[in-house]
Structure 1
Amino acid sequence: MSEALVAAEIPGATAPGISGARQFWRRLRAQRAAMVAAGVVALLVLVALAAPLLTALEGQDPTTYHPSLVDSARGGVPIGSFGGVSGDHWLGVEPQTGRDLFARLVYGARVSLGVALGATAVQVLLGVVVGVAAALGNRWVDQLLSRVTDIIVAMPLMIMALALLAIVPENFPRPILVALVIGFVAWGTIGKIARAQTLTLKELDYVAAARLSGWGTWRIARRELLPGLAAPVITYAALMVPANISIEASLSFLGVGVKPPTASWGQMLSSANVWYQAAPQYLLLPAAALFVTVLALTVLGDGVRTALDPRAASRLRVGTGRKREARSDLSGAAEPGPANAKEAIS
């Protein structure tokens, strides 16, 4: 009953379940840019998961030093063309240390994607819990949690992350620490989104019917409100992942993120900033990996947002999409409706 009521209350809403998933998939599949981005993201995830297998296939690992492959007389520049590219080292070696660059890139994908996804999970959990609690609580609870959320939103993210990461002992696992710090410092916006959406949903008829039937507050939240929060939360979470990758790279670049010998794209960029002339591939490869990953995740997140809410215009429109919509509008306008059916017959 509640599902039927929500479909009637929200214009354009579809019945939940399989049909809603099919409609979402059909809308997402219609966006070519989003599907290409999804393929790129899937490939990156596959590379990150298969990092041990790929490095074993190459016969290298990300931490072993190869001093014989760098020219100590020139300050540690890799010996050979293109940064020491060979059959044993597919992308060359790292300056000064001689560590395999391909192995560090694929293991860096593990760290960058893992930190971003972990931080996003913490942000979603904290934001939804605080937002729903604020919307369902009394006036004092709402005021308190809303002010806490405002403080979190107003905090300068990088400064707070730098301060927190600087005081934690070095023996704490750094990737986990970076994910927790980003998650705890940057959940405010999704908390505001969850609170605003919950305030809207709890005024609908099916929520009032559940309340009149004797359901408790948290049962209503779990059974009736959380499914309605899924679309905005998933949309914003998809857009937070590339932002968190950039934050992790920035923290590692500043020297407070992931520490050596753990491979991270941001940490590689931090070490490569003095080698852009002598060994440009050491700078360009992690920078290109970051650029492609952030771009693909951003395009995919925007496609998910548009598929979940087709009434919202996409921020990353492509020409083919506009032309397709224009053709569909023209074909719809050309079809004779009931009003001019007689004219068409005559």
Structure 2
Amino acid sequence: MSEALVAVEVPGASASGASGARQFWRRLRAQRAALVAAAVVALLVLIAVAAPLFTAIEGQDPTTYHPSLVDSARGGVPIGPFGGMSGEHWLGVEPQTGRDLFARLVYGARVSLGVALAATVIQVLLGLVMGVAAALGGGWVDQLLSRITDIFVAMPLMIMSLALLAIVPSSFPRPVLVTLVIGFIAWGTIAKIVRAQTLTLKGLDYVSAARLSGWGSLRIARRELLPGLAAPLITYAAILVPVNISIEAALSFLGVGVKPPTPSWGQMLTAADVWYQAAPQYLMLPAGALFVTVLALTVLGDGVRTALDPRAASRLGVGTGRGRQDEADAEKGAAV
């Protein structure tokens, strides 16, 4: 009987999942700020992926020195107006070295976005495995995994990262190292969220029916629990990406993250702190890129959270106004 119940529920679950996906996209499209943020994020990702193409069009690269473009008598200040902007150097050049700022900025986007996205994937996977294992294991397994999770939640991320990055040999690729450090330290909060949600899902009828039909824990987790965990995981992952970008920038700014000549927005800010008067664009460009990226990802994450859970009010006002009213009218019409 339980097998028949499970078999009957699968098609309905698929239809419900498809309908839920359509509702999510409709709610997300109704939020103009989230759509603008998504367009900005897509543009940033395009710039990061196509960095070699953009720099080839400009005819520059991020590591070549141009000593003739800086005034050594004035300490290395770029020659020319606006930090040496020209047809050959679209955003000017770096003080002292003369390296092209546009090339370093777009290649820095690859490092900052790549580290943040990869670290988020590691955090989500670790948190998912630990949270589901703790909730399904129960008893001493739950106690053990929960205490391990508590330890990682209590760890001061910046202090631990500084310590680990300082003792690892410099020959190890720094972007990979920063990714691993952030990903393997800051997964505890996701594990707690997944455990709490899994405990809630365990008490639902369709999960009980699957267990009575003889399904193992792994199959139950894959077929029954993961669809229910998708919404909170996507929501929290969208919020984690801008946080991880800020962490990478902070670590690079403190001198333990990405090392020269590899460009990174945080590493560029580290070198720019003594040039903000002589060459203000050297400070403003990476700072502005970080600000726009973090703001766009934060607004997009809030929009995704609101679209997945329409009962929750937006923290940033995303989806308010006419868009929210149109969404409410559409849902009333569908209900009728």
TM-score, normalisation: structure 2: 0.93
Cα deviation for residue 160 of structure 1 reads 0.4
| Cross-structure match for 1:151 | 151
Whether the 8 Å contact between 2:30 and 2:323 is mirrored in structure 1 is: no
Aligned-partner Cα distance in 1 for 2:104–2:242: 20
| Match status 1:24 vs 2:24 | yes
CA change 1:234–1:330 in 2 (3 A) is closer
- Name 2:320's counterpart in structure 1: 321
Identity level (%):
79
Return the offset for 1:4.
7.8
5 Å matches for 1:18-97? Answer: 18-97=18-97
Counterparts of 1:84-233 in structure 2, within 5 Å, are: 84-233=84-233
Specify the SS of the correspondent of 1:56: helix
Residues 141, 331 of structure 1: alpha-carbon distance in 2 compared, 3 angstrom cutoff: closer
Deviation per residue, 1:101-156 (Å, 9 max, x gap): 00000000000000000000000010000000000113111111111111111111
Q: 1:204 to 1:6 in 2, by over 3 A?
A: farther
Query: Does structure 2 conserve the Cα–Cα contact (< 8 Å) formed by 1:41 and 1:293?
Result: yes
Residue in 1 aligned with 2:304? 304
- 1:144-202 residue CA offsets vs partner (Å, 9 max, x unmatched): 11111111111111000001111111111110110110011100100000000000001
Match of 1:341 in 2: none
CA RMSD of aligned residues (A): 2.3
Tell me by how many angstroms 1:327 deviates. 7.8
Give 1:15 deviation, angstroms: 4.4
Give the counterpart letter for 2:305 in structure 1. Answer: R
Contact 1:120 1:240 in 2 (8 A): yes
Higher mean C-alpha deviation, range 290-299 or range 14-23: 14-23
Structure-2 change in CA distance of 1:329 and 1:224 (3 Å): closer
CA gap 1:83/1:39 in 2 versus in 1, 3 angstroms: same
C-alpha separation between the residues in 2 aligned to 1:167 and 1:328?
Answer: 53
Counterpart for residue 236 of structure 1: 236
TM-score (norm 1): 0.90
Q: Against the structure 1 CA distance between its residues 89 and 329, is the aligned structure 2 distance closer, same or farther, given a 3 Å change threshold?
A: closer
Give 5+ residue unaligned stretches, structure 1.
Answer: 339-346
Contact 1:65 1:97 in 2 (8 A): yes
Q: State the SS of the aligned residue for 2:321.
A: helix
Separation of aligned partners in 2, 1:155 and 1:207: 34
**Counterpart of 2:297 in structure 1: which amino acid?**
L
Query: For 1:239-262, what per-residue CA distance to the aligned partner results, in whole angstroms no more than 9, with x for missing partners?
Result: 000000000000000000000000
Residues 91 and 221 of structure 1: CA distance in aligned 2, closer, same or farther (over 3 Å): same
Q: Check 1:196–1:64 CA distance in 2 against 1; reply closer, same or farther (3 A cut).
A: same
Secondary structure of the corresponding residue to residue 321 of structure 1: coil
Q: 1:2, CA displacement in angstroms?
A: 5.2
Alignment partners' CA distance in 2, 1:5 and 1:322: 38
The residue type paired with residue 52 of structure 1 is P
Size of the aligned set, in residue pairs, is 330
In 2, distance between residues paired with 1:266 and 1:80? 26
Displacement of 1:311: 1.1
Distance 2:107 2:185 in 1: 26
Q: Using a 3 Å threshold, how does the CA distance of structure 1 residues 27 and 103 change in structure 2: closer, same or farther? A: same
Structure 2 residues not aligned, in runs of 5+: none
Worse overlay, 230-239 or 13-22: 13-22
Q: Which residue of structure 2 lines up, in the alignment, with residue 282 of structure 1?
A: 282
Measured in 2, the distance between the counterparts of 1:283 and 1:328 equals 42
Contact 2:27–2:327 (CA under 8 A) maintained in structure 1: no
Distance 2:36 2:331 in 1: 29
d(CA) in 2 for partners of 1:182, 1:309:
28
Equivalent-residue separation in structure 1 for 2:323 and 2:112 (angstroms): 36
Q: Could you say what secondary structure the match of 2:320 adopts? A: helix
| CA displacement 1:51-72 (0-9 Å, x = unmatched) | 0000000000000000000000
Distance 1:231 1:311 in 2: 14
Runs of 4+ in 1 over 4 A off after TM superposition: 1-8, 323-333
The match for 1:343 is none
